[in-house]
Amino acid sequence: MNGGDSEAGLLEQLTSVVLELYNAAPPELAGEWRELGEAGMSSFQSLFGSARRELGIMSREEIEAALEKIEARLGVLRKLKRETGSKTPEELLEYVEEVEDDSKWLASSSVLLDEKNAQSVRLKNEVTSIARNLRTSRDLAGTDFERRVNRHLGDLAMDDVRFSVTVNKLDKVRASGAESVTFMLSQKSLPPLPVGKVASGGELSRILIAIQASMERDRLPGVLVFDEVEAGLGGRTALLAGEKLKELSALCRTILITHEATIAAMADQHFLVTRNGNETEVYEITGENRVREIARMLAGSESREAIDHAKALLEA
């Protein structure tokens, strides 16, 4: 019902034909033809209007406008495919469905957020309560621990020093609680300082032994290993350290690497470590072999005096 871009529409053609008829009409029929022509054109216009409405027929202008809208929508779809990385329309539809699901979840997430906030407040209150109880327990345990460590230090000839536990409050609760714990040591009239800053090497060795000996039995590890813990200690002090290690060995398995014959003689078992090239051997020595090794540790030889001294130490 519509002509192309280079031809007139059907109504325009009919109008042109009617006008030609008007011009060709005899004078006596001109009025009659004009009335008939106008009536016919009116009927055709009504027919075309009714058909367009009922059949959805569009005018050229309407078609062009619709095409512009379609092109615009296609442009939007192409842009969406690029931005979402979709290769096919199906993938784009899947993406849209995911976005819609996420949007629905986001719209309903305020309830979940309120629940989580309430849970967070509740847990913070619980943590604060636990941290407060832990601080009280640490204060009580620190006092008792000080007493036990100082008693062992006295046994190790360290009567002139005072071991103490300082519980320092932190600005917030951490994984280890709301405070830090520092071991302090004071000597004579000097103020307490952290153990690591004031103790000598020999004192650190004895403090380490005293701390381990002060632990509750169920808190001690299955095995304790000391590497020359007696280094820097004198004769009597080294002997006292050996006796304290002997006490500790009754609480848990204690391994001591030592070059001190007096302490080695106190051990329940004696293992010798030797190295030959790239090979290292560890084997237990007993009986006369142990006597000779203790003698060698004492005097560097197996002289009669060293052997007798070694036997005396082992029999003590």
Q: Who contacts 129 (Cβ-Cβ below 8 Å, separation ≥6)? A: none
Q: In which band, very low, low, confident or very high, does the pLDDT at 91 lie, cut at 50, 70 and 90?
A: confident
Q: In this structure, are residues 171 and 203 in contact, taking their beta carbons and an 8 Å threshold? A: no
pLDDT of residue 4: 43
pTM score, whole prediction: 0.57
Domain ranges of the chain: 12-83, 85-123
Residues 148-183: tens digit of each pLDDT: 999 999 888 888 889 999 998 888 888 888 889 999
Question: What is the Cα gyration radius of the chain?
Answer: 52
* CA atoms of 12 and 41, how far apart (whole Å): 10
Nearest to 150 by CA among 197, 198, 207, 195: 207
Tokens of 190: 């000097």
Mean pLDDT of 232-245: 80
Which residue did the predictor score with more confidence, 179 or 63?
A: 179
Q: Tokens 């032994």 sit at which residue?
A: 209
